[in-house]
Amino acid sequence: MNLTLKIWRQKDSKTKGNFETYQINDISPDCSFLEMLDQLNEKLISEQKDPVAFSRGDCGVSFDHDCREGICGMCGMFINGRAHGPDLGVTTCQLHMRKFKDGDTIVVEPWRAKPFPIIKDLVVDRTAFDKIIQAGGYVSVNTGGVPDANAIPVPKNRADEAMDAAACIGCGACVATCKNASAMLFVAAKVSQLALLPQGAVEAKERAIKMVRKMDELGFGNCTNTGACEVECPKEVSISHIARLNREFFLSVLSS
């Protein structure tokens, strides 16, 4: 496959960025999108040009993970106007070039959200998500050793729903896709996975308040229920969890 790539280049969050165009040839349809970017960077390095920084830590940018299995959430980028590209239920590292056609022009850019400042090129700082988790997305009770699986009875439907919420990898696609840069789906998933289980009951009265307030403090926008976040979520987390977050929040306010 021969492709034209229009990639956002930006030195840092304070420097003005721009799109640069690259031609790349002989790309196998079976390689992943990140492998294609690797080949582009090899070409740029051979030409003594600055390689494109993306979430694998290229050109010296630090990285947290490099799983390539759709579980670390680090590979997020906009591809032809869609978070993680033109496939459903996958992250960028799971996207294969067979989703594109020979001769295509592919536009690649980073997440666009004020709480996610650009570090370099396609890499953004998602520390804001960590701060939301630190505000209340945890269980502080000392559970001791690993309990027996049947020691704490949990209805299967609630356990299944909690696991569905816990599937969120915090990649930020929901924020980048939302016209308001809302983090409600992320926060809702993290609240749901604890609210549905007895282990999360200890902090239940304050968890939602603390996490929502931290989300607002960090500059994320409001949810308008358009559902775009659910569509682009690589783990297909349901917006029904946002309804639970709202219930948890109002119950917390009323009981405080």
- 3-state SS of the chain is CCEEEEEEECCCCCCCCEEEEEEECCCCCCCEHHHHHHHHHHHHHHCCCCCCCCCCCHHHCCCCCCCCCCCCCCCCCEECCEECCCCCCCCHHHCEHHHCCCCCEEEEECCCCCCCCEEECCEECCHHHHHHHHHHCCCCCCCCCCCCCCCCCCCHHHHHHHHHHHCCCCCCHHHHHCCCCECHHHHHHHHHHHHCCHHHCCCHHHHHHHHHHHHHHCCCECCCCCCHHHHHCCCCCCCHHHHHHHHHHHHHHHHC
pLDDT reported for residue 141: 67
pLDDT at residue 202 in the model: 85
**CATH 1.10.1060.10 domain span(s) along the chain:** 126-255
Q: What is the pLDDT of residue 119?
A: 94
Class for domain 126-255, per CATH?
mainly alpha
What pLDDT does 72 receive? 85
pLDDT score for 83: 96
pTM of the shown model: 0.89
- The reported pLDDT for the residue numbered 151 is 76
- Intervals of CATH 3.10.20.30 along the chain: 3-120
Q: What string of pLDDT tens digits covers the 256 residues of the chain?
A: 999 999 999 999 899 999 999 999 999 999 999 999 999 999 999 999 999 998 753 333 434 445 667 888 889 999 999 999 999 999 999 999 999 999 999 999 999 999 999 999 999 999 999 999 999 998 876 666 766 766 778 899 999 999 999 999 999 999 999 999 999 999 999 999 999 988 888 888 899 999 999 999 999 999 999 999 999 999 999 999 999 999 999 988 888 7
Q: Tell me which fold the domain 3-120 belongs to.
A: Ubiquitin-like (UB roll) (3.10.20)
